[in-house]
Amino acid sequence: MTKAAKTIRERAGAAPIEAVLVLGSGLSGLGAGLREPVAIPYAELKGFPGGGVSGHGSELLIGEMGGKRLAILTGREHYYEHGNAAAMRPALETLAGLGAGALLLTNSAGSLDPAIVPGDLMLIADHINYAGINPLIGEPTDRRFVNMVDAYDPGLRGKSHEIATAMGLALKEGVYLWYSGPSFETPAEIRMAIGLGATAVGMSTVPEVIVARMLGLKVWACSSITNMGAGLSDERISHEHTKAMAVQGAAKLEQLIPALVEAL
């Protein structure tokens, strides 16, 4: 057991954690839906994210949602902060070791599809690792050869569509392309991403999905669309704009996620 796992068990109890939820840019408020939360600052958990990006939380919450024991990472660490694509691996390994069988990921993303607009939710069906880096580089065992077919669990995707329909919530679906960031894309890069078959672009999530699939976790991921890709509209893309626009998607995720956790 990792040192962080010991700390978590001491603070939050030894009952197994059933699922993990990662909150993206401007979405850190989603942790409010957790019952009887125990909060542990990342700074006290060895290997957990550094908490260096504004709009991201910097603590782990453990509590109950939808009848399940859930761990919420209120902020993530990104490849663009330092060039380490495996930054989230220690946290994910620790939580998988404490019992988690599913990883739910949220992020903010730019849409490439005129039918998916700011404020919409886009379920991720598949991804394109355009950053060209992989968090498993350096992993010495054969575990590194991870199969990425159906990496975004088809069963969980189906359930989310059923839940969203029952709630009257529009839930789109598409392919997420990972650009390393931290600069936003050029209009030419956005046109290329469209040509490659992407539906949305963002700077996170993909490395976590790869690590999670190696660990055998079921993965679900959803983008809160905060803007159209660079050059596709007149709005000026910025981190401030992303954080401000994330509020609309957050309200929808607040409805969707507890029901999905219950159905896990």
Per CB under 6 A, the list member of 12, 88, 109, 214 interacting with ligand HPA is 109
Q: Which span sits near ligand HPA by CB under 6 A: 54-62, 84-92, 113-121, 222-230?
A: 222-230
Site pattern 153..182 for ligand HPA (x: CB under 6 A): --------------------------x---
Q: How far is CA 135 from CA 19, 23, 100, 122, 250, in A?
A: 21, 19, 20, 24, 28
- State in angstroms the smallest separation of the CB of 174 from ligand HPA: 14
Contact region with ligand HPA (CB under 6 A), list: 44-52, 66-74, 93-101, 199-207 = 199-207
Taking residues 11 to 50 in sequence order and writing x for each that binds ligand HPA by CB under 6 A, - otherwise, the string is ----------------------------------------
Residue nearest to ligand HPA (CB): 110
> In the set 229, 232, 256, 257, which binds ligand HPA (CB under 6 A)?
229
User: Considering only residues 74, 160, 199, 227, which one is a binding residue for ligand HPA as defined by CB under 6 A?
Assistant: 227
Q: Which of 57, 123, 226, 260 binds ligand HPA (CB under 6 A)?
A: 226
| Positions in the binding site for ligand HPA (CB under 6 A) | 108-110, 179, 184-185, 201-203, 226-227, 229, 237, 242
